[in-house]
Amino acid sequence: MRTLAERVYEVGVQDWDRRLFDELIPLPDGTSYNAYLIKGSQKTALLDTVDPAKTELLVDHLVRVGADSIDYIISHHAEQDHSGSIPDMLLMYPDAKVVTNPKCKAMLMDHLQLEENQFIEVQDGQELSLGDKTLQFIFTPWVHWPETMSTWLKEDRILFSCDFFGSHQACSTLYVQDEAKVLEAAKRYYGEIMMPFRSSIRGNLKKLEGLDIAAIAPSHGPVYNRPSLIVDAYRDWIDEEKVKNHVIMAYVSMHDSTRKMTEYFVDALMDRGVGVKQFNLTGADIGELVIDLVDAATVVIGSPTVLVGPHPSALYCAALVNVLRPKTKHLGIIGSFGWGSKMVDQIIGMLSTLKAEVFEPVLAKGLPNEQAYSELDALAEKIAEKHKALGLM
Ligand code: FEO
């Protein structure tokens, strides 16, 4: 059995086969739904459950760890990948109470149709004794729902942070082995769901400053036994001023005009020492694009014109950027049209949350001509100047 400390067990489930979350987010490495069992000298607590599709494995793990009784089911977050098995847990352990904050309780009553008398409500900072082990609840809201909270196990100095600091990956090791790989997965996860709430995350990180944390045990991915790895990364990701000399060039092309412009432009950036990654929106892993969105200084969207407006794939990209609200400093639009276009206005209209300087767009009528290539050179030059001015190169 996977043990974090004396009588502290990981009893969750690795979901190796899952490839999509929320029918939206790609999961190239699957995911895990971590749940933890803490046996105190007097009481036993289960911290979170698993996705309802995997309840059977959770039950199996609880039997194997000898969880004859559970007094408390701590619910950090009402989303069903962690709460979905609570109804089955309450059937298996009918004396157990669900311990959570008032917001989460209300959401669990809505999502799982639990009854009021099945809960114990706790407040921020409140403690719950299991005998020789003490749980302290720390409200860490908006990672990524308003009710999210964490639990601090005082005696063993373990922070159970639920989605906060998590990473979508199934893996056989309890603790982080390959730090670079975990950081990339955690960055992808942060970008996909937490980035829009980074001002709240700033407050949550501040709340954790006084804790001498030995390990961070999230609800997805491996446990961090070197907590500064992920805490320092989060500090960088939420810092509005920390952007990289990097351009996201996301494009779609129908008859090669926009593709030719994109390829020329990417070369023009490279010639000037600007980092760039080209994403063909037809088939791109959106999660890869989101990883770059976390700290790229500049985003450029390339689109042809379809029925006067942008290609729907470009609109999808703009909608994604808009909802994720990255700290991107500059925005460019390039593309093509046949006889007329409102493409630029419509893309900019989709990006109302982005606080970025918008460069003069570069549009070609049909295939790009000398003038279009010269304007692309000028745009690349402008971006290089802006990146230099930010001290990025
Ligand atoms: Fe892993 Fe927001 O649930």
pLDDT in tens, 202-242: 999 999 999 999 999 999 999 999 999 999 999 999 999 99
- Give the separation between CA 286 and CA 188, rounded to whole angstroms: 10
Q: What is the DSSP string of 4-69?
A: EETTEEE--EEETT--EETTTEE-TT-EEE--EEEE-SS-EEEE----GGGHHHHHHHHHHTT---
- Contact present, 329 and 386 (Cβ < 8 Å): yes
Report the chain's mean pLDDT, rounded to a whole number: 97
78 C-alpha to ligand 1 centroid (Å): 8
> What domains lie within the chain, and their CATH numbers?
2-238 (3.60.15.10), 246-384 (3.40.50.360)
HSE of 321, CA atoms in CB hemisphere, 13 A: 33
Nearest CA to ligand 1 atom 2: 79
- Give the separation between CA 98 and CA 88, rounded to whole angstroms: 12
155 C-alpha to ligand 1 centroid (Å): 27
- Contact present, 168 and 31 (Cβ < 8 Å): yes
pLDDT at 1: 80
Ligand 1 atom closest to 166 (CA): 1
Ligand 1 atom closest to 144 (CA): 2
Model confidence, pTM = 0.97
345 C-alpha to ligand 1 centroid (Å): 35
Which residues form ligand 1's pocket by a CB distance below 6 Å? 77, 79, 81-82, 144, 163, 219-220
Q: In the predicted model, what is the mean pLDDT of residues 238-250?
A: 98
Q: Over the stretch 311-361, which tens digit does the pLDDT of each residue have?
A: 999 999 999 999 999 999 999 999 999 999 999 999 999 999 999 999 999
Q: Over the stretch 303-315, which tens digit does the pLDDT of each residue have?
A: 999 999 999 999 9
Q: Is 335 left (phi over 0), alpha (psi -120 to 50) or beta?
A: left
Given a cut of 90, is residue 83 above it in pLDDT? Answer: yes
Residue 7: other Cβ atoms inside 10 A: 17
Q: What backbone torsions phi and psi does residue 262 show, to the nearest 5 degrees?
A: -65, -50
Nearest partner of 303 among 358, 356, 361, 360, judged by Cα? 361
Nearest CA to ligand 1 atom 1: 163
SS3 135: strand
Residue 146 pLDDT class (50, 70, 90 cuts)? very high
